[in-house]
A and B are shown apart, each in its own frame.
Chain A
Amino acid sequence: MNAMNPMKEDIHGRAKRLIAAERVEGIAASDREWLSGHLAACARCAALSASTENALRSLRTLPIRLSPTLADRARMRVSLRAGELRQERARAWALWISCSLSWVLGVGSAPLVWRACEWLGQEARLPDIVWQAGFALWWLAPVAAVAAFLAAHKRRAARMNDGMAP
């Protein structure tokens, strides 16, 4: 058995640490110089360094088998998804345009509707608060419907994207 004293063990331990550190994160020039001198004098550590280098060379040169159709299949999926996104965007535009038109019409027609609600309330002898609430409902109902639709759409999108971080 090749017994070594603790000092020599420390030297070999340091060499072993530096051999790995040089590859993993780099080492200082003074450490590199020391290591180089040690490897020139110590066959065991030189063999360790060589086997580490061999392992990395093997790793770097390891080929993989890449399917020749893989990129085309990915392109196809991306293209289909791009089509879906375009449709979604077109739907979203249509929705925003409808909302905008609805809002403009709503604002424009509000005085007329107010008078109509007032006339109906008076004809039916309803308290003011009732026909005013009817007017508010008429005005808010489309907004509430669109908000509910958008919230549902957002929830659906969030479910689809679940775990899609980052």
Chain B
Amino acid sequence: MGATTYLFSALMPDDAREIERGLRQRDPDLLDRLIEQYQYRLYRYLLFLTANRETAEDLFQETWVRVLDRGHQYNGKAKFETWLFSIARHLVIDALRRRRPESLDELMDPAEGQEGRPAREFAAGEPGPAELFAQGEEGERVAAALGELPSAHREVLLLRFQEDLGLEEIAGVAAAPLSTVKSRLYRGLEQLRGLLEEPRP
């Protein structure tokens, strides 16, 4: 599914100016194409942040409604996905604020020295990260390791190493200073590596 989406994405004209014009006009065909093109990446981002399939799916739909509502605010200067992820992130924060205000701290500014603390803001009743993300033993192991990271660290790892966003773009999405983004990346990478190195039970 992902590979197909990426292929489709590579074939599509991804002109930010064209998207800007289409969003301003609320062009339904453009929105359809954008949903198709970005569905995998947006859902993955939301899943990384929320660690909850149902919430990620709700927020996925809500994000596209917001894209429709706020399309005129996209100026075409930044990459569309950066703007899209920013919207999604704000929706996650809103959802956290409604459900568990205390867990906001972890997404906004994970406390130093709390590495390895599980971040499952929405995860009550969920089958666990392995069920959410992956198939196969290796996938389950990686998913379990990710589940142990604070969500802010998961977020920057995804944006840097799966989305290939630049550090400034990540700072824009995460609404955090560049130094914070780097610090989260270094810590997250170190934590992930450590967790994956642990002997299998």
Inter-chain contact B143/A62, CB cutoff 8 Å: yes
Indicate whether A78 reaches chain B with its CB closer than 8 angstroms: yes
Q: How many residues of A contact B (CB 8 A)?
A: 35
Q: Chain B contact residues: over half helix, strand or loop, or mixed?
A: helix
Tell whether A164 pairs with B90 under 8 Å between CB atoms, given A66-B1, A66-B39, A78-B68: yes
| Residues 40-67 (chain B) with a chain A CB within 8 angstroms | 40, 43-44, 47, 53, 57, 60-62, 64-67
Measured as residues with beta carbon below 8 angstroms from the partner, the interface class of chain B is 35 or more
In the bound complex, residues from chain B placing their C-beta under 8 Å from that of A105 are none
Inter-chain contact A63/B32, CB cutoff 8 Å: no
- Residue in contact with B39 in the complex, picked from A56, A58, A71, A164, CB distance below 8 Å: A71
Expressed in whole angstroms, the minimum distance between the Cβ of A24 and any Cβ of chain B is 5
Inter-chain contact A58/B142, CB cutoff 8 Å: yes
Tell whether A59 pairs with B142 under 8 Å between CB atoms, given A24-B185, A64-B134: yes
When C-beta atoms are compared, the residue in chain B nearest to A76 turns out to be B61
Q: Give the segment of B14-22, B101-109, B118-126, B156-164 that binds chain A.
A: B156-164
Inter-chain contact B61/A73, CB cutoff 8 Å: yes
In the bound complex, residues from chain A placing their C-beta under 8 Å from that of B53 are 65
In the bound complex, residues from chain B placing their C-beta under 8 Å from that of A28 are none
Using a CB–CB distance below 8 Å, which chain A residues touch chain B?
A: 20, 23-25, 51-52, 54-56, 58-60, 62-68, 70-71, 73-75, 77-79, 81-82, 85, 161, 163-166
